[in-house]
Amino acid sequence: MKRTLFILIILTLLAGTAGAADITGGAKLTAGDYNHVGDVYKQVFEITDESNKFSLSYGLGFFYNIQFNPYLGFQAELLFSSITLRTGSGSTWAQDQYFLFSAPVYYRVQFNFSTVGLYIMAGPRFDYFLDNASTLDSDGIEDSYSRKKWAYRNFIICASAAAGAVIPVDTGQLRLGMGYTRALSSEFTSNSKAWYQGFDIQVAYGLAL
């Protein structure tokens, strides 16, 4: 299944490149908040009287956008990211920080109004986590651990969507948007109901290629 999906994405990319009306590439920055979801964490929160708390997660990388026509397009990205998941009660909290490579692959719809374009895009996102992770709590105690040792998956498939605006700036395009991502694969190798989700602000600048 994973191989078939990957092949379809590559074929779409190649077909789009061959007849694309417009190709844009550039740098992208994301910043937002991720948290735990699923029955496993729900049960833990009920027992411990804890909940998700805000923590900053971010990503930095590049995007490659092919517009088949003024309305329909395809966008692939590769980001080096940090996801921080924080839980706690009152002023007491603990968090886990992970580093990963994220590769969203979006199908994209854009509507153009004068010089500004409004877009919405959705598709799969492939997250590959590096094995080293770290913890930090409200007392300032830090530690590190191996994801594999604690039976975490390193490769997780997500569903991702974003919407925003494209604004011409000098010879390029400024892209401002907001995105949502939800893990589809369990965080653990046991396939227990434990996932993560996140909302982020997305800023990108691209040039015609």
User: Is 0.85 topped by the overall pTM?
Assistant: yes
Give me the DSSP letters along 12-79.
Answer: HHHHHHHH-SEEEEEEEEEEEEEEEESHHHHHHHHHHT-EEE---EEEEEEEEEEESSSSEEEEEEEE
pLDDT digit string, tens, across residues 89-140: 999 999 999 999 999 999 999 999 888 999 999 999 999 999 999 999 999 9
**Amino acid in position 132:** N
Contact, 27 vs 55, CB < 8 A?
A: no
Q: How confident is the model at residue 20 (pLDDT cuts 50, 70, 90)?
A: very low
Q: Judging by beta carbons within 10 Å of its beta carbon (0-12, 13-18, 19+), is residue 58 exposed, middle or buried?
A: middle
Element (H, E) at 4: helix 2-19
Lowest mean pLDDT among 11-15, 102-106, 192-196, 204-208: 11-15
Mean pLDDT of the chain: 91
Residue 11 has pLDDT above 70, yes or no: no
First to last CA, the chain: 33
Q: What is the set of domains in the chain, with CATH numbers? A: 2-208 (2.40.160.20)
